[in-house]
Amino acid sequence: MRVSEENYRSAQGCVIVLGKQRGDKYSFPKVDDSICRVGFTVTKKIGSAVIRNKIRRRFREAVMLTLPRFKISGYDYVVIAGKTCPNASYPEIVSGLHNAFKEIKRLHNKYGKKKSEEHQPTKEQPDAYVANLSDSDTCDEPEKI
């Protein structure tokens, strides 16, 4: 699951939401960056197929209500059902998704860029790391013990 590699995560009530900005590396076939994709995960630990499908249907409807307000273009989301989901009412699920999407959007606005880009040199100083390495003292031969 590519979303779980570098993502923002929010657990609210019986719902866990993972969100990740989609990059060119993972988009096959090429997907428009303005599109937001959502996947649902309900494991067998939750219950029988009837219960899992009921939860999935509730998730789909709740996401259609809450996501347009908090979606971020070019993001992939995975909605995971927690153990208490079979006993949760529909308003609890909607509230959990609302708070989870709100938290992910807050994290995205706070950190803004992908985690993989944080340690790369900027365009203004393309050789910043190389310059720092070349300015350091040379290393002597390691001591033998």
DSSP 3-state of 9: strand
Average pLDDT over residues 77-100: 92
Domain boundaries, the chain: 2-135
CATH code of domain 2-135: 3.30.230.10
Tokens describing residue 89: 């009412």
The predicted structure's pLDDT at residue 36: 83
The pLDDT of residue 22 is 75
Mean pLDDT confidence for 82-97? 92
- For the residues 129-140, what does the mean pLDDT come to? 41
In this predicted model, what pLDDT tens digit does every residue of 51-88 receive, in sequence order?
999 999 999 999 999 888 888 888 889 999 999 999 99
Q: Model confidence over 19-30: pLDDT tens digits?
A: 888 765 555 666
Residue 132 banded pLDDT, cuts 50, 70, 90? very low
- Sorted by sequence, the CB contacts under 8 Å of residue 31 that are 6+ apart come out as 22, 37
**Predicted local distance difference test score (pLDDT) of residue 142:** 45
Residue among 124, 64, 116, 109 nearest 90 (CA): 64
DSSP assignment of 37-72? EEEEE--TTS--HHHHHHHHHHHHHHHHHHHHHH--
Q: What's the predicted TM-score (pTM) here?
A: 0.68
